[in-house]
């Protein structure tokens, strides 16, 4: 009873945490701040351009571009939860984050990250329907279904992040309060708890594992059928066109699910938080920055629209 009471008191006394990510490399702090700031600006500008192009060109008002537009909105928000705070931390050296600020950052990061996984699965299904069942595409992928898929992705993300954040911040934190990460990620915060985290690790593995494995299966099964369909196409031009539509997106999807699986969907994810900084940069900052270039700017329809606008100017 005494220990429980003591843990509860220590839990309520915690007012903040120290973000110690990359702290062992003091000489790199200004460079990291500049690098994070540049990548964040590119992310916001690139994704904002995608949103504007899709909304301004009526030819792009199709399910594929509807999902890409929503992915761009998601990526701006996703990156904004982490990158500005990290850049200021490296620049000013103010590594303290409040208890509520840490919980909020974890909640929104988990919400947007989980939603992105569902988005990628939805987009893979869209491409599967378009390439494998082109005659049924307009009938199946209605506007109503597209909106429901987007809302369902957010709802699934909300349920997942509520469970993760709720379980994590039900733990007791009695010191040290130094989080070995540059943001409040679930495994890193769990690692500094003085409570027994076995149940939390099982819950995290079950929730994150089911989300990651489930969405990844949808993605890779869809692309498996897509590749088979492309290979069986009689025309070389049709094969080239279909493959160019999907190849770059497959690379981004593989990168996202590979890094996220390494971080969250394996046992003992909290045991080596020191490895997480570099890997986390890939899916929190690099992928949202690359998505506009991978999904939109290589697209012929978008290039045609941009060239037309430049000629008018």
CB within 8 Å of 77: residues ≥ 6 apart: 108, 112
Asked if pLDDT for residue 79 goes beyond 50, the answer is yes
Select the highest-mean-pLDDT range: 36-40, 184-188, 205-209: 36-40
Q: Which helix (H) or strand (E) holds 113?
A: helix 99-132
Give the CA distances from residue 99 to residues 13, 15, 167, in Å, rounded to whole numbers and listed in that order: 10, 5, 15
Check if CATH label 3.90.1170.50 holds for domain 24-302. Answer: no
Which residues on adjacent β-strands are paired with residue 16? 98
pLDDT, tens digit (0-9, with 9 covering 90-100), for 256-298: 888 887 777 655 554 454 456 778 888 889 889 988 887 665 6
Mean pLDDT of the chain: 84
pTM (2 decimals)?
0.86
Give the CA distances from residue 284 to residues 62, 189, 256, 276, in Å, rounded to whole numbers and listed in that order: 28, 17, 9, 11
């Amino acid at each position: 009873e005494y220990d429980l009471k003591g843990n509860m008191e220590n839990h309520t006394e915690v007012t903040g945490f120290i973000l110690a990510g990359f702290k062992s490399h003091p000489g790199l702090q200004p460079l990291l701040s500049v690098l994070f700031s540049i990548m964040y600006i590119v992310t916001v500008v690139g994704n904002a351009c995608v949103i504007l192009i899709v909304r301004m060109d009526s030819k792009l008002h199709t399910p594929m571009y509807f999902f890409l537009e929503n992915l761009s909105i998601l990526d701006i928000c996703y990156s904004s939860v982490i990158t500005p705070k990290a850049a200021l931390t490296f620049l000013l050296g103010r590594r303290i984050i409040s208890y509520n600020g840490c919980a909020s950052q974890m909640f929104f990061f988990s919400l947007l990250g989980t939603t992105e996984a569902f988005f990628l699965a939805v987009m893979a299904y869209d491409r599967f329907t378009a390439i494998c069942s082109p005659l049924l595409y307009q009938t199946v992928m209605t506007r109503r279904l597209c909106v429901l898929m987007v809302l369902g992705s957010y709802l699934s993300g909300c349920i997942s992040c509520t469970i993760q954040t709720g379980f994590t911040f039900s733990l007791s934190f009695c010191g040290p309060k130094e989080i070995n990460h540059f943001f409040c990620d679930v495994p890193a915060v769990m690692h500094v708890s003085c409570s027994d985290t076995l149940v939390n690790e099982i819950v995290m593995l079950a929730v994150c594992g089911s989300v990651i494995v489930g969405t990844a299966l949808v993605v890779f099964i869809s692309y498996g059928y897509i590749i088979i369909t492309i290979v069986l196409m009689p025309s070389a031009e049709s094969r080239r066109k279909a493959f160019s539509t999907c190849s770059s997106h497959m690379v981004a999807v593989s990168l996202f699910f590979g890094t996220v699986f390494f971080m969250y969907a394996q046992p003992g994810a909290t045991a080596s938080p020191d490895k997480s900084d570099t890997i986390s940069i890939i899916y929190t900052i690099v992928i949202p920055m690359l998505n506009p270039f991978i999904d939109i700017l290589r697209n012929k329809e978008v290039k045609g629209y941009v060239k037309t606008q430049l000629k008018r100017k």
